[in-house]
Amino acid sequence: MSRSAAEHRWWPWSRRRPAVARDSTSADASELVSESEAFLLGRYVELLEERGEPVPVWAWTNVLAHGSRDDLDRAAAGAHGWSSSRRWRIARALVAGEVLETVGRGAPLSDLQREVLAPLELELVRRRGVWTWTPERWLATVRSALRSYRHSNRI
């Protein structure tokens, strides 16, 4: 997949050729359901990695924006081992820990996700040039959004 195609990728099925009078197959429907479920449960990075597909920068925000507290606990602890995405996993682990710390100070996780993390995820989807970001730049962006939330809510 070209950088341009990956950069502007929103939903996983948007990277495919347009359906020009093609019947939907059971396999296509099953894939669509799997991708949608992974996205909505905060497990999109893992799905892409299992398939050997490139992970767009915005996807590292997915577990923060949609995952449960248990998912965030796993993400915070999940920087172990070596992989090609190790630096991204470390960045995600750091920020997942900060999300949990903010929740521990009294912020409801659902509020934090609805007001900060899901909108940030969507902003990163739409923003041009995000594909070239480093884990450090992504981490700084997410941390800034969390700081703003904590400041505005006195947490």
- More confident: 17 or 136: 136
The residue whose two tokens read 């903010």 is 102
Residues 86-108 have a mean pLDDT of 95
Parse the chain into domains and list their residue ranges: 3-12+25-152
pLDDT of residue 155: 84
What's the mean pLDDT when you consider all of the chain? 86
Q: What is the distance between the alpha carbons of residues 134 and 114, in angstroms, rounded to a whole number? A: 25
DSSP state of 81: S
Least confident of 42-51, 75-84, 91-100: 75-84
Instruction: Report pTM.
Output: 0.80
Residue 4 pLDDT class (50, 70, 90 cuts): very low
pLDDT of residue 81: 59
Other C-beta atoms closer than 10 Å to the C-beta of 138 total: 20
Q: Over the stretch 117-126, which tens digit does the pLDDT of each residue have?
A: 999 999 999 9
The strand ranges marked E within the chain are none
Residue 21 pLDDT class (50, 70, 90 cuts): very low
Name the residue type at position 89. Answer: R
Residue 30 pLDDT class (50, 70, 90 cuts): confident
Q: Is the pLDDT of residue 61 over 70?
A: yes
Element (H, E) at 6: helix 3-7
3-state SS, residue 43: coil
Instruction: Please give the structure tokens belonging to residue 120.
Output: 């940030």
DSSP state of 133: -
Residue 102 pLDDT class (50, 70, 90 cuts): very high
Burial of 95 by CB count in 10 Å (0-12 exposed, 13-18 middle, 19+ buried)? buried
Q: What proportions of the chain, in percent to the nearest 5, are helix, strand and coil? A: 70, 0, 30
